[in-house]
């Protein structure tokens, strides 16, 4: 049976930290791939490309165009790479990239969290799975706007682990555990910026699933359009429940 890695007590994603970071995702502007002091074994520096489309900053887009046309080339790309793009994201990549095992290990060490080299494959896999699940939930909401915007993109994300949402606080009064983390994601809906609130909850322990979690993803109630989406989603859920009950009725 595989030993599950020790996760931080506060549950926060370690990839957000206080140093030279991007305003888009609180990540380091440069990928930290060098081994940490005292590291016992090498870790993979390979990075997985997510399924999440990202907004490519204008400087990166111009540098990529210049490189493709042969005008400016590597110099333009290098200038963009050191600028205000998304932290540790490869220039001209139109999807978000996940940190490597080495980057995640370094981030945990800098935070003072327990980290072992052996745990990194599982820890990074969990991190990536949580983000992919979150994006799928975002797309459920964005499907209501598919005709106007067939490909929404994630522009910015912010970790707010102790800034509990009003919804999370409300349900905690009735016995629900507070989420172990919160993110705010800003989605570019083909020119319209939409803020999503994501609460991350620990799931019920299950021997068959050593790590269990759930996510509560919804647009922030900061516009009439978001309020209408909440109403439409609630009606759709109620209709599906009624249809399901009717189908199973004797």
The string of pLDDT tens digits covering residues 171-219 is: 999 999 999 999 999 999 999 999 999 999 988 777 666 678 899 999 9
How far apart CA 224 and CA 233 sit, in angstroms, is 14
**pLDDT digit string (tens) for 26-82?**
555 456 788 888 888 999 999 999 999 998 876 566 666 666 676 544 433 333 333
**DSSP letter at 189?**
E
How far apart CA 199 and CA 201 sit, in angstroms, is 7
In sequence order, which residues have a C-beta less than 8 Å from that of residue 115 and are 6 or more positions away? 105, 108, 109, 123
pLDDT at 249: 64
């Amino acid at each position: 049976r595989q030993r599950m890695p020790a996760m931080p007590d506060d549950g926060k994603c370690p990839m957000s930290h206080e140093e030279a970071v991007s305003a888009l995702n609180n990540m380091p502007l440069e990928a930290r791939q060098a081994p940490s002091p005292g590291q016992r074994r090498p870790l993979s520096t390979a990075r997985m490309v997510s399924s999440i489309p990202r907004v490519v900053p204008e400087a990166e887009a111009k540098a990529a165009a210049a490189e493709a046309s042969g005008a400016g080339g590597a110099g333009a790309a290098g200038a963009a790479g050191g600028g205000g793009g998304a932290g540790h994201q490869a220039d001209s990549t139109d999807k978000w990239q996940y940190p490597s095992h080495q980057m995640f290990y370094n981030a945990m060490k800098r935070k003072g969290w327990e980290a072992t080299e052996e745990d990194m494959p599982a820890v990074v896999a969990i991190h990536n799975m949580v983000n992919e699940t979150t994006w799928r939930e975002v797309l459920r909401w964005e499907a209501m706007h598919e005709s106007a915007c067939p490909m929404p993109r994630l522009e910015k994300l912010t970790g707010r682990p102790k800034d509990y949402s009003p919804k999370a606080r409300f349900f905690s009064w009735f016995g629900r555990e507070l989420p172990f983390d919160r993110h705010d994601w800003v989605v570019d809906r083909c020119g319209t910026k939409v803020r999503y609130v994501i609460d991350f909850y620990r799931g019920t322990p299950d021997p068959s699933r050593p790590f269990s979690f759930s996510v509560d993803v919804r647009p922030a109630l900061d516009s009439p359009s978001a309020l209408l989406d909440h109403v439409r989603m609630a009606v759709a859920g109620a209709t599906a429940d009624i249809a399901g009950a009717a189908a199973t009725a004797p």
